[in-house]
Structure 1
Amino acid sequence: MVHHTISTSRASASRASSRISSMRASLRWAASAIVGTLAACGSVPLPPPDEAPVAPTVPTLPSAPAAVTPPLPPADAAPLPPALASGKSRWQPVRWSELPGFDADALHEAWNAWLKSCERPAAPWEALCPQVRRLSIATPEEQRAWMQQALQPYRVEPAPAQGTAEGLLTAYYEPVLQARRQPSATHTVPLYRPPAGLGQRKPWFSRQEMETSPQARAQLRGREIAWLADPLDALVLQIQGSGRLRITEPDGSVRTVRLAYAATNDHPYRSVGSWLQQRGQLRDVSWPGIKAWAQANPQRVNEMLWSNPRTVFFREEPLPELDAALGPRGAQGVALTPGRSIAVDKESIPYGTPVWLASPGPQLPLQRLVLAQDTGSAIVGAVRADYFVGWGEEAGDLAGRLKQPLRLWVLWPRAGG
């Protein structure tokens, strides 16, 4: 899945999304609009169905313990293991008491995301997944005690050391948009499947060339999935990398589907908000500000959109009722869980790893267990995470304004168990 971080500055009041099950009622505050200083972030698409997923490898990390973990000394009394290196990060072993809020988290909410990761476990986690499944009906105290016995917390730091273990937390979401299966007088903006000739040249045609080049238009003909009314909505959908469409079919019926990331045209991402700001066109670099500028300058909308040459292609997926409470599949290949899934730099934290996340706010104070299940091109660095908050306008408001300090601890299987 491809997504990008967005921030906002709108001051109108809004409540937190009821669909974000892990968000508490105390998080209802002023909803902001989506900032256009959009940072590019793209997730890895799933392999074709007939290909087995390739598990991520971290050569320097210890192997998982046996399927049954024997009793260990009290977690904060056992000797600490040595530090570990993982790609761009250094993992410093710590006591469980260092994890802020560990005794207060509703672990059962995170367990649902953990079970999803166990659908495609990497080698270090495969042996522990049977225990994770059995503990899904355990009490929080039993879950906590098992984690302290089976796992060792490590504070994530940059490698080489850069003097701080504090990083950046942003958020992403799924837009929900109205669409039509066929173009109309109001719905003129197409969303495309990957064209047949996509792999024949790299990079493929740019966003501007897709609208102006006869060769590009010929390759896109017949690849339309649906049509939107607003080109800026299409841009948001491509920025986030997936979304839900309420599509009006030719017979007048309406159904909801998911558009999932399929590919890009391999051009770099450029922020339209930054483009406007650099030209002195906009001080309020927010999504409402960008839309207001577009309404006041319709003759320059294409110029603004073409400043970002990158385009995302989608695949349409059904949205069964049972799956409607889950997000799109992330780079690990499992459905994301609102409030409990994060995107990370895969060179620092392997997919499927449970992570303790702490952020003081100001937008959203967090101390909780999350699962590393996605990645993106803007999610770079050891202490960097993008927090999946759900779908719809209210989730977009929350994702838009969340940009705050971050600390991370990976919870890794104890060696020699």
Structure 2
Amino acid sequence: MDRGRSALVRWTTALIVGSLAACTTVEVPPSTPAPGARPADGSLPPAIQQPASRWVPVRWSDLPGWGLDSLHEVWGAWVRGCEKPSPVQAPLCAELRPLIMAGTAEQQAWIESRFQPYRVVEPDGSAPQGLLTGYYEPVLDASRTTTFSHRVPVYARPVGVRLGSNEPPWYTRQEIDTLPAAQAALRGRVIAWLSDPIDALVLQIQGSGRLNIKEPDGTVRQVRVEFAAHNGHPYQSVGKWLLDRREIREGNWEGIRAWAAQNPGRLNELLWSNPRTVFFREVPLTDLNARFGPPGAQGVPLTPGRSIAVDPQSIPYGTPVWLASKGVVFNQQRLVMAQDTGGAITGAVRADLFTGWGNWGDAPYQLASRLKQPLQMWVLWPR
């Protein structure tokens, strides 16, 4: 979510060891396929080829767990997606909105009448095991002014840095920390100050967060910071950097934090191994938008447990997706919405589940940090 989408960048064990859901600019999705026609004889329609995947038509009975999901939990996310629908999905939004108050049986009947399910596989038709990871929106304490305890900056986008993959790279993370020219370019661009450089790194990887900012007058208010741009350098996982050097045994944030506490003199070496830096914009957090996650790449707020980041070359934004994944921390078959993307979310059967927001150690963090398991996906495409 440094997901250039809103870009929410994600974080999860997989991200730490090299996956990174959000550290990217918003990608322009491919042209979406036209609605599929329903064959008159009841046979299945032809497969649909996408740039990064192939959609193979199946019957509803082929979807594991279909009919057992509480569809009302995803309906709100689907309706919010209708704020910025794709041309193919837009005609159905008028029918979708009134059904938000309907029962599960009526919602399911409407889906089955208006959509065709397709299994998402590789472009060549093969179906290897996919990967599901998770990301969340961290909640962090911050200060509007630098203090003895809060000395790690959260930067707004510098003048001259634009969001775009064709832009030349700006200063690296190390250069930002050490070069006078980079410091001069960032003068006056600090949104807030954090106390922990690892927290700042997590915020950048997630691409969005909520800051409890202490103002100069002593008051504390919560704001959201969203992805604005990055410095144009590739993301490198600090967890992988430590694993490759056999400094830690598991690429999770607990291990990274423990290593940092034991090796304070090498902290910059760790941080500078990732040249990418993310810049943010501050957004007021109202009572209404505090109930939802940050905007994803589709441009609509993310819904915990029901919004996923995908490769837009495989699945267009706004597409309902039937997701099936079985593992130790997540054993679910449910309907979700493709509403975001991320730098590490590439390929046919690849998704990052938005788990919500919270402090380090809270349930959204715990699920996002541990979620790395097999995945199957089916897109629901208008007939």
Normalised TM-score (structure 2): 0.92
Aligned: 1:37 with 2:17 = yes
Q: Tell me if structure 2 keeps the 8 A contact 1:55–1:122.
A: no
Partner of 1:25: none
Structure 1 residues not aligned, in runs of 5+ = 9-34, 47-53, 66-71
- Counterpart CA distance in 2 for 1:364 and 1:96 is 23
Partner of 2:156: 193
Structure 2 residues not aligned, in runs of 5+ = 1-6
1:120 to 84, 94, 118: 84
2:184 to 218, 222, 231: 218
Structure 2 CA distance for partners of 1:331 and 1:108, relative to 1, 3 Å: same
Cα deviation digits, residues 83-121 of structure 1 (max 9, x gap): 111111111111101111111100011000001110001
- Cα drift, residue 153 of structure 1: 0.3
Partner of 1:409: 378
Partner of 1:365: 331
Pairing of 1:217-296 with structure 2 (within 5 A): 217-296=183-262
Secondary structure at the counterpart of residue 135 of structure 1: helix
Structure 2 CA distance for partners of 1:160 and 1:214, relative to 1, 3 Å: same
Cα deviation digits, residues 380-409 of structure 1 (max 9, x gap): 111000000001132111100001110000
- Counterpart CA distance in 2 for 1:286 and 1:106 is 32
- Cα drift, residue 205 of structure 1: 0.1
- Cα drift, residue 42 of structure 1: 2.6
AA partner of residue 269 (structure 2): E
Partner of 1:382: 348
Partner of 2:12: 6
Cα deviation digits, residues 14-40 of structure 1 (max 9, x gap): xxxxxxxxxxxxxxxxxxxxx842423
Q: Tell me if structure 2 keeps the 8 A contact 1:5–1:38.
A: no
AA partner of residue 180 (structure 1): S
1:82 to 42, 46, 49: 46
Q: Tell me if structure 2 keeps the 8 A contact 1:55–1:123.
A: no
- Cα drift, residue 45 of structure 1: 6.2
- Counterpart CA distance in 2 for 1:234 and 1:313 is 11
Q: Tell me if structure 2 keeps the 8 A contact 1:354–1:410.
A: yes
Partner of 2:4: none
- Counterpart CA distance in 2 for 1:165 and 1:269 is 26
Structure 2 CA distance for partners of 1:278 and 1:408, relative to 1, 3 Å: same
AA partner of residue 385 (structure 1): A
Q: CA RMSD in A?
A: 2.1
- Cα drift, residue 201 of structure 1: 6.6
- Counterpart CA distance in 1 for 2:245 and 2:129 is 33
- Counterpart CA distance in 2 for 1:43 and 1:333 is 17
- Counterpart CA distance in 2 for 1:217 and 1:324 is 33
Cα deviation digits, residues 116-137 of structure 1 (max 9, x gap): 1100011001100000111111
Residue-pair matches, total: 371
Q: Tell me if structure 1 keeps the 8 A contact 2:11–2:136.
A: no
Q: Tell me if structure 1 keeps the 8 A contact 2:226–2:282.
A: yes
- Counterpart CA distance in 1 for 2:24 and 2:103 is 35
